[in-house]
């Protein structure tokens, strides 16, 4: 796997681990009812027959080299990201079992089941492109990032919800424009995104089981940090891969708007604060970040000159300043 579009970069999903002892001390007293309801729903396994391993996933239309690269890098990124969720949930399940928290362990086991199906499906789509992704080896080679439990609860909640919106918005778009649905993989997104939505709801229950994490200055700070970092990563990834969205007949920037708006709305159920989006200032600042990002990328691709290192440093600083200005955009109370 050496083609440029399949290599990893800063925006590639990472692998994570967290404070297991603290996770094992999760108190479900105030959230027991919702926890049990979600656990029962996960046991029901609505998507048991959905991810049919025999379903053909071959692309239905030939693509030019650029388009093919865009589709394949989308698959790789999504597959690594699903697999990263699988590893985190599986590890949490195993360690929570050891820590005598069978109900929490079971819940993570069921979430790991879903992510394994998702990663498996994407992996099969990659195989039909002739690409073999050795996921276990990849995860062994890459450093595992350690996050405090509060960070995991905030960031996984958001990545599940943003994942839900990404899948469902692509699916809704293709329903309106079936001529752009060039691969059967997209037909699976409907029930698939319901898994992500449920996972987000589960993380919300876990987050509410730690009331100190969503209160006061800490709650406000964590809300800002994670909404900012998840939206920033999303906008840059979408900008970097606008070829892929073009292939689906989707305007990348409008797609980013829709995903951010919907995810920010979902975050109201879980976080004490969310970004204020209705006055358009946040998205206007996001545009400035994306412009700075594109200028930096373009400077890297141009001919080498004596000024280039200095020029790149200046563009990098501009990007950092714009990204910081995005973090400082006004927020509002969720309820
Ligand atoms: Fe998933
Ligand atoms: Fe998920």
Domain boundary among 192, 214, 236: 214
Q: Are residues 230 and 210 in the same domain?
A: no
Q: What is the pLDDT of residues 117-147, one digit of tens each?
A: 999 999 999 999 998 888 877 777 777 888 8
Model pLDDT, residue 136: 78
Domain boundary among 166, 182, 214: 214
Model pLDDT, residue 293: 96
Model pLDDT, residue 319: 97
Ranges of the chain whose pLDDT falls below 70: 1-14
Q: Are residues 165 and 75 in the same domain?
A: yes
Q: How many domains does the chain have?
A: 2
Q: Are residues 178 and 226 in the same domain?
A: no
Rounded alpha-carbon distances, angstroms, from residue 280 to 34, 225, 234, 285, 330 = 35, 20, 18, 9, 11
Rounded alpha-carbon distances, angstroms, from residue 257 to 193, 212, 268 = 19, 31, 17
How far does residue 195's CA lie from ligand 2's centre (Å)?
A: 6
**Do 44 and 109 contact (CB within 8 A), yes or no?**
no
How far does residue 123's CA lie from ligand 2's centre (Å)?
A: 16
Domain boundary among 214, 247, 279: 214
How far does residue 166's CA lie from ligand 2's centre (Å)?
A: 12
Model pLDDT, residue 12: 60
How far does residue 160's CA lie from ligand 2's centre (Å)?
A: 5
Model pLDDT, residue 1: 45
Q: Are residues 187 and 42 in the same domain?
A: yes
How far does residue 115's CA lie from ligand 1's centre (Å)?
A: 4
- Its domain, for residue 73, covers 1-214
Q: What is the pLDDT of residues 184-236, one digit of tens each?
A: 889 889 889 999 999 999 999 999 999 999 999 999 999 999 999 999 999 99
Looking at all shown ligands, the one closest to residue 88's CA atom is: 2
How far does residue 196's CA lie from ligand 2's centre (Å)?
A: 4
How far does residue 229's CA lie from ligand 1's centre (Å)?
A: 20
């Amino acid at each position: 796997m050496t083609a440029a579009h399949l290599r990893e970069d800063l925006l590639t999903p990472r692998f994570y681990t967290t404070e297991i002892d603290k996770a094992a001390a999760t108190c479900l007293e105030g959230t027991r009812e919702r926890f049990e309801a979600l656990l029962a729903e996960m046991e029901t396994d609505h998507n048991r027959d959905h991810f049919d391993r025999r379903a053909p996933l071959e692309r239905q239309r030939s693509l030019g080299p650029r388009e093919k690269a865009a589709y394949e890098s989308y698959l790789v990124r999504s597959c690594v990201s699903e697999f990263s969720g699988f590893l985190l949930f599986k590890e949490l399940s195993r360690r929570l079992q050891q820590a005598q928290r069978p109900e929490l362990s079971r819940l993570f086991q069921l979430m790991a089941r879903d992510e394994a199906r998702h990663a498996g499906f994407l992996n099969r789509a990659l195989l039909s492109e002739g690409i073999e992704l050795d996921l276990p080896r990849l995860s062994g080679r890459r450093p595992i990032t350690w996050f405090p439990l509060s960070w995991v609860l905030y960031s996984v909640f958001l990545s599940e919800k943003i994942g839900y919106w990404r899948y469902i918005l692509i699916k809704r778009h293709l329903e309106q424009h079936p001529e752009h649905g060039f691969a059967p993989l997209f037909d699976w997104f409907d029930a698939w995104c319901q898994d992500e939505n449920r996972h987000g709801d589960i993380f919300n229950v876990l987050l509410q089981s730690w009331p100190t994490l969503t209160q006061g200055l800490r709650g406000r700070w964590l809300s800002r940090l994670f909404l900012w970092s998840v939206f920033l990563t999303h906008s840059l990834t979408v900008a970097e891969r606008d070829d892929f969205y073009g292939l689906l007949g989707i305007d990348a920037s409008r797609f980013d708007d829709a995903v951010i708006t919907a995810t920010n709305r979902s975050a109201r159920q879980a976080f004490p604060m969310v970004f204020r989006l209705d006055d358009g200032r946040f998205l206007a600042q996001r545009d400035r970040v994306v412009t700075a990002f594109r200028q930096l990328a373009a400077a890297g691709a141009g001919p080498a000159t004596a000024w280039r290192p200095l020029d790149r440093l200046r563009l990098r600083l501009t990007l950092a300043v714009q990204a910081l200005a995005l973090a400082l955009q006004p927020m509002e109370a969720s309820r």
